[in-house]
Amino acid sequence: MAFVANKVALVTGGASGIGFAITDHLLKNGAKGVGIVDTSAQNGTKAEKKFRDEYGDKVIFIQTDVTKKDELKAAFEKTIAKFKNLDIVVNNAGIMNEPDWKLTLTVNLEAVLSGTFMALDEYLPKYRSSEEGLIVNTASILGIDCMRTIPTYSATKSGVIALGRSLGHQEDYDKTHIRIITICPGYIDTPLVSAAINREGYTNHQPDPDSFISPDFVGEQVVCLMNEGKTGSVWVIEEMEAYAVNFPDRKDMKVV
């Protein structure tokens, strides 16, 4: 992919699931380096070894609690120290834990806000290797079609969508030359989703097994969108396709 080639990326939640797949496809498409930012030392060390065995010294694992701004900032700094640049930031880390709704809010929305503004205001303007920088934020189809059994998760993902739409106006891009894209994966075959739908209270709302897609497909599509996605765009990835969605004017939603 033309945009990804020779670029440096930071991917939160990069040691498993969608983040792991995005990292893999970045490297497959010629990325110069990727900072794998994840809270799990076990998953991160394993991912780092796998990618180094396959791609050489193009990855660095940085164990990070994204809810702690000093740790997240350190992850940016360590990625830049390793690879000398930073061009792409993927705010992907997320959880689904309704009993601990405050933690879900902090990981899924507050940390995405922190990562977005660190990238937008500080690191991409200073360290990108070409004219354009890129931020990709992971939301969910449940941020569009909210589910009553997971209200906090749905609310946080709606917030991520609103963040990307708010910051992604063309006039802002004309000033910063930083694109902001939001992805909304559907039902993904990951431990996060499997654990959530099997938890008590979710058993009556399991999706059709045929609707699940692989993290690898999402990673492949995300790297494609890094080429073609316009700033402020929101992309659903489900049922083996990726498509942009439009949001109607509020007056067009008026009930008459």
DSSP annotation string for 101-120: HHHHHIIIIIHHHHHHHHII
- Res 9 pLDDT > 60: yes
Which tokens in the block code for residue 190?
A: 């990951």
Could you give the CA distance from residue 37 to residue 75 in angstroms, rounded to a whole number? 7
Which residue segments constitute the domains of the chain, with CATH numbers given? 8-253 (3.40.50.720)
Q: What does the pLDDT read at residue 200?
A: 40
Burial class (CB in 10 A: 0-12, 13-18, 19+), 61: buried
Q: What is the pLDDT of residues 13-43, one digit of tens each?
A: 999 999 999 999 999 999 999 999 999 999 9
Could you give the CA distance from residue 63 to residue 12 in angstroms, rounded to a whole number? 10
Does 153 participate in catalysis according to the annotation? yes
Provide CB contacts within 8 A for 22, sequence distance 6+.
11, 14, 90, 92, 136, 218, 219, 222, 223
Q: Taking the model in full, what pTM does it have? A: 0.93
Q: What does the pLDDT read at residue 195?
A: 55
Q: What does the pLDDT read at residue 144?
A: 97
Q: What is the pLDDT of residues 46-86, one digit of tens each?
A: 999 999 999 999 999 999 999 999 999 999 999 999 999 99
Q: What is the mean pLDDT of residues 111-133?
A: 98
Q: What is the pLDDT of residues 176-213, one digit of tens each?
A: 999 999 999 998 866 555 555 555 454 445 565 566 89
Name the residue among 12, 17, 13 with its Cα closest to residue 189. 17
Per annotation, catalytic residue among 153, 187, 202, 243: 153
Q: What does the pLDDT read at residue 2?
A: 85
Backbone phi and psi for residue 163, each to the nearest 5 degrees, phi listed first:
-60, -50
